[in-house]
Amino acid sequence: MAWWKAWIEQEGVTVKSSSHFNPDPDAETLYKAMKGIGVRSQLLSHQAAVFTFPSSTLTTGHSRCIPAGTNEQAIIDVLTKRSNAQRQQIAKSFKAQFGKDLTETLKSELSGKFERLIVALMYLPYRYEAKELHDAMKGSRDDVSSFVDPGLALQDAQDLYAAGEKICGTDEMKFITILCTRSATHLLRVKCTRNLHSYFAERLYYAMKGAGTRDGTLIRNIVSRSEIDLNLIKCHFKKMYGKTLSSMIMEDTSGDYKNALLSLVGSDP
């Protein structure tokens, strides 16, 4: 299946590994982007920018650190333009250089939906999936096997139908459980997931349609599919709804949260 993996890498993903990647400068950029992480001036060359008061106001040889506020755009530029594997390396470098946990530091510096999105990017994929599933996931996926239980496929189809179609208030945990714990072969036997790209396009659309945004659905689908097939989902989204995914994100979200989502989604098809 090497050809399939290569095709997905070329056609499907919106977030790819950065070429000429070096985690150390990225970790330093993130460190400098955070407010309230002051250091003395002797660390200026490799850790954080230090602003020194005029010598007339301070005792000779002393300096002061003035936090300039969190640089959210710098955080977006680094974390949304690196693959998950590269983000893990950045986190290790951050810990090694500055003695701090990157995810916890991001939590302390950011807030709201933007924090939720950025922190989601820092999870290993399987840990993020487990987090979203909570207690709903009872076993591992059967991806390694091509065997499909027709009875289970039928039951899943009935469960998905009962959970609700195209409407707010669906039993989202039921959808997550089935989609995250079944193989692609199995899912192809389930009628409503016969075209997975259309399915995810639909989930994204209804996450933003109408009053209010279902941010959990929006974040989960964009983060989890960005390194798999989000480009293909975007194409189906445009065909199905006559507008691009990015245009709907621009209409429905704002601020750094919007900018980070758009960076993950990439250019329009």
Residue positions forming the annotated binding site for Ca(2+):
208, 210, 212, 252
Annotated binding site: 208, 210, 212, 252
Q: What is the DSSP string of 110-150?
A: --HHHHHHHHHHHS-HHHHHHHHHGGG--S---TT-----H
Amino acid at 199: Y
Q: What is the DSSP letter of 170?
A: -
d(CA 224, CA 227): 7
Are the C-beta atoms of 170 and 163 separated by less than 8 Å? yes
Region for residue 160 given its phi and psi (left: phi exceeds 0; alpha: psi -120 to 50; beta: otherwise): alpha
Contacts of 181 (CB under 8 A, 6+ apart): 133, 137, 138, 139, 140, 141
